[in-house]
């Protein structure tokens, strides 16, 4: 086997992994209008209403800070599903939406990174418990774990693109592999585990 040829896809993947950004994150107001407003405008199921500052301040106090409030919105809490029931919403977009609802101001600068993107499950655990259902045997055309030829074209697009597709859903794969409570960091960890277990 030619070692240079054998390692090329991994080198290409690493070189491209930080360069490609598939989408521009939505503003907090856009996310509230398209996702969060369904419950937070009317107060459905006890959701704090947009504009009710007292209710939001109580939530921040109860959850010990804005970061925990945002983390709970990403994971889901009480009647609120993870990522507002829309797994394709990124952690950054959730952070912006919470910030917008708390401040109720379109003049508030959009945050540049998520308040909290915890890794409660390792990439290995996520892949073995969820992703392997399709990536194990190539169900629905999923690239199989350990099959370099099937991963090479995907890896050539870079890690950001792969992770973005996994978060939003791609072809037959649902957003976040069907587990909306996974954080963006966990999705990245799972993608890295899948990539690193290829036969280079």
Number of structural domains (the chain) is 2
Find the CATH number of the domain harbouring 189: 1.10.760.10
Distance CA 135, CA 177 (A): 11
Q: By percentage, how much of the chain surpasses pLDDT 90?
A: 36
Q: Does residue 10 form part of some domain?
A: no
DSSP 40-78: HTTTGGGPPPTT-HHHHHHHHHHTTSHHHHHHHHHH-BT
pTM, 2 dp: 0.73
Q: Check if the beta carbon of residue 169 is closer than 8 Å to that of residue 161.
A: no
User: Does residue 125 share a domain with residue 98?
Assistant: no
Quick one: 127 and 99 in the same domain?
no
The residues facing 170 across adjacent strands are 173
User: Among 51, 79, 103, which residue terminates a domain?
Assistant: 103
Residue 49 lies in a domain: yes
Residue 126 shares a structural domain with residue 99: no
For the segment 148-153, the average pLDDT, to the nearest whole number, is 86
11 falls within a domain = no
At 14 the pLDDT is: 38
Instruction: Please report whether residue 2 resides in a domain.
Output: no
Per residue in 33-75, pLDDT (tens digit) is 999 999 999 999 999 999 888 898 888 888 888 888 999 999 9
User: Is residue 186 assigned to a domain?
Assistant: yes
Q: Write out the residue range of the structural domain in which residue 53 sits.
A: 28-103
**Residues 124 and 98 reside in one and the same domain:** no
Q: Is 130 inside a domain boundary?
A: yes
Of 103, 131, 158, which residue constitutes the final position of a domain?
103
| pLDDT, tens digit (0-9, with 9 covering 90-100), for 165-179 | 999 998 889 999 999
């Amino acid at each position: 086997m030619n070692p240079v040829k054998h390692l090329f896809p991994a080198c290409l993947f690493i070189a491209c992994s930080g360069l490609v950004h598939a989408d521009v994150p939505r503003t907090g107001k856009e996310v509230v209008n398209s996702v969060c407003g369904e419950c937070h405008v009317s107060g459905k199921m006890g959701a704090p209403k947009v504009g009710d500052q007292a209710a939001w301040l109580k939530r921040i106090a109860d959850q010990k800070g804005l970061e925990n409030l945002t983390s709970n919105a990403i994971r889901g809490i009480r009647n609120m599903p993870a990522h507002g029931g829309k797994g394709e919403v990124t952690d950054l977009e959730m952070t912006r939406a919470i910030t917008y609802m708390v401040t109720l101001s379109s003049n508030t600068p959009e945050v540049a990174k998520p308040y909290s993107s915890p890794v409660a499950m390792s990439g290995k655990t996520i892949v073995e418990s969820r992703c392997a259902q399709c990536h194990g045997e190539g169900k629905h055309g999923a690239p199989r774990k350990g099959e370099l030829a099937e991963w090479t074209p995907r890896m050539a697009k870079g890690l950001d693109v792969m992770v973005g597709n996994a978060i939003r859903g791609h072809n037959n794969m649902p957003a976040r592999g069907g587990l909306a409570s996974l954080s963006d960091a966990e999705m990245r960890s799972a993608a890295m585990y899948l990539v690193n277990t290829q036969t280079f």
